[in-house]
Structure 1
């Protein structure tokens, strides 16, 4: 019984050794390493790697990439670059397994040597070769001088430039329409009023307002008194004072229009036609009066 317990205790003491993980690491691209040159730190284990714990306090290295190999979960690659020259040390980092039963392990720290741009012991910065002068090359100060001379010459020519002759445009002669005599203008307005067909539309009052205004405008323009602003009685007085022909007929026409406009008289179609015809004949009579002296 004691022997059996001793064997079991021995096997249990070997169990941590069986769970202890194994790994390997290597560096690639560290030959002739310079500042900023990337190189790889590759970690291979016998378990699936969840990640590596890289400290945030690194000052000598810049971590460019840290990832697991897509086709091999037991391989992790860290891509980094040195930030300083000389011998640099990278610390141990923890390898975190996917399986929590596996004991985490740490990589071994390593050192790399980063070459300097200058040769060892050489601290003197040397300039490039002096500029080579070409044949007929002018001194540097000549070029700004030539630019100023060209600028001054351009300003001088611009100031001396003769003014551009201004093209004269002849204004077109205003088109003057021949002035119509008062009777012809009134007759034209009457024909337009008849063509509107206000009587057929039932606008009898509006028709007589405009019919009266045609005669009043003609009287005002021909005999020079404000007929448009006068009442029928005032127009009658002005007609007799000026001894205007057809005074009674004019007075009758204006009274007829006023009755339709203000007294709500409803004229017959015959009355409308007769009064409209009288106004047309009255206006046409002035055309005959103008033609008779010409024919004579």
Structure 2
């Protein structure tokens, strides 16, 4: 047991001597602002020698401290020396390792700094788990205050809501257009019959407008022939109409020509027919037009049931 104690004492002495041998007596080191340090506080490590220093080697294994700046200072009349800016990262007692210091002149030896130990005071209680920034956030140039961004977002939301509200208010539904129901197409005979009744209602004969009355009477029949048989009767003479209707073969062609000739005599030959004659011709025209109503009804009866329903629709 006594031998073991002697061996341990010898080992401790050897380690102490090794530390003294590693420390360079030419290096003068000093600390600045190293009292009551907390995590994030800065302190300074000064390194001087009797000869100019060229470089300080900071090990990559440094974990409890952060060397944020290494300054090589040259002053007139003094050899170049170093100033290291260091920040502790963790609370508690921590040792700062030895650093290698290289001289400018290779004739001077490479030296090593002494280790030193610092007590880093915690910035909060151990039970406090709230994260606290070590340092206030940096502001870049022309940075706007935070409230300005909140105001801009609020204005944007107001504009968007206003846009949708006004757009919905202005949108008026289009009025429903009434469906235009086409008027039923009247057959040609019914149109001509209505014109005949209108002419009789005007009573031109009582106003001594014989020529005008017979001119319009002839016009009604000519217009009917044009629409019913596709003959340009309005542009033809009575003789030309005779030729055309004989070729086509219309209903009661002889009586049609007789009617037109009667009207021509009243229009061009200065023949003034009696009221009874004119009345008889009007009755003939009316019966002639009504005959086509019978023909139309017979055509509907002769059609198949499907075609009849389609025609009625």
TM-score by length of 1: 0.46
Q: Name whichever structure is richer in helix by fraction.
A: 2
TM-score by length of 2: 0.44
Which protein shows a greater Rg?
2
